[in-house]
């Protein structure tokens, strides 16, 4: 039996089986049972890993959907924080429109509401761009007209036609201005 190579040996002819081969067949049958058990163990492990993979993929897909839904809700309701500070301004305007008063009182009321609106915008990070008396800056000013004058330095803003605004460091709207031009 020591000289037999069981892996590369030719199978016996029909009806021929020696006692050594019968003994080797018994050993092979024992190995076959061991291999079958190992095969079942590997198959169970594979099935377990496939199940874990499927669960992980489903969990990932659910997390992706949840994140997408949260992003959409954030986009839909992002303006809420910007709108809330403006509501008291609307309330003040409504009250001002309901009161019958003198033109002077109306003006002072509107000025208070204007100040209230400026404060609400400042809390949100919106600020006005200074224009009149400033040197012309094409990054924040939009020149509508050139005015010939010798009273002011060249390229200085003479008049602000429409105020410009920045949100934090980003330009919302440039200021429309008239610019001095020396003759």
- Tens of pLDDT, residue by residue over 141-177, are 999 999 998 888 999 999 999 999 999 889 999 999 9
> What's the rounded Cα separation, in Å, for the pair 20 and 101?
123
Is residue 124 within 8 A of residue 157, CB to CB? The reply is no
**CATH superfamily, domain at 126-183:** Head domain of nucleotide exchange factor GrpE (2.30.22.10)
- Confidence check: pLDDT of 100 > 60: yes
Tens-digit pLDDT profile for residues 44-65:
999 999 999 999 999 999 999 9
pTM value is: 0.55
Cβ density class 74-84: b for 16+ within 10 Å, e for less: eeeeeeeeeee
Q: Give the pLDDT band of residue 10 (cuts 50, 70, 90).
A: low
């Amino acid at each position: 039996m020591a000289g037999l190579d069981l892996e590369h040996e030719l199978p016996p002819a029909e009806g021929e089986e020696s006692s050594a081969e019968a003994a080797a067949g018994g050993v092979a049958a024992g190995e076959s049972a061991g291999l079958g058990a190992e095969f079942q163990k590997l198959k169970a492990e594979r099935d377990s890993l496939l199940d874990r993979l499927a669960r992980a993929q489903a969990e990932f897909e659910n997390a992706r959907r949840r994140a997408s839904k949260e992003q959409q809700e954030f986009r839909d309701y992002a303006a809420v924080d910007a709108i809330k500070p403006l509501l008291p301004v609307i309330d003040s305007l409504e009250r001002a429109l309901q009161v019958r008063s003198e033109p002077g009182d109306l003006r002072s009321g509107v000025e208070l509401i204007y100040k209230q609106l400026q404060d609400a915008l400042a809390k949100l990070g919106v600020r006005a761009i200074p224009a009149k008396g400033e040197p012309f800056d094409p990054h924040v000013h939009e020149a509508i007209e050139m005015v010939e004058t010798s009273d002011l330095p060249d390229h200085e803003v003479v008049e602000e036609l429409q105020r410009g605004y920045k949100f934090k460091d980003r330009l919302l709207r440039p200021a429309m201005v008239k610019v001095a031009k020396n003759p």
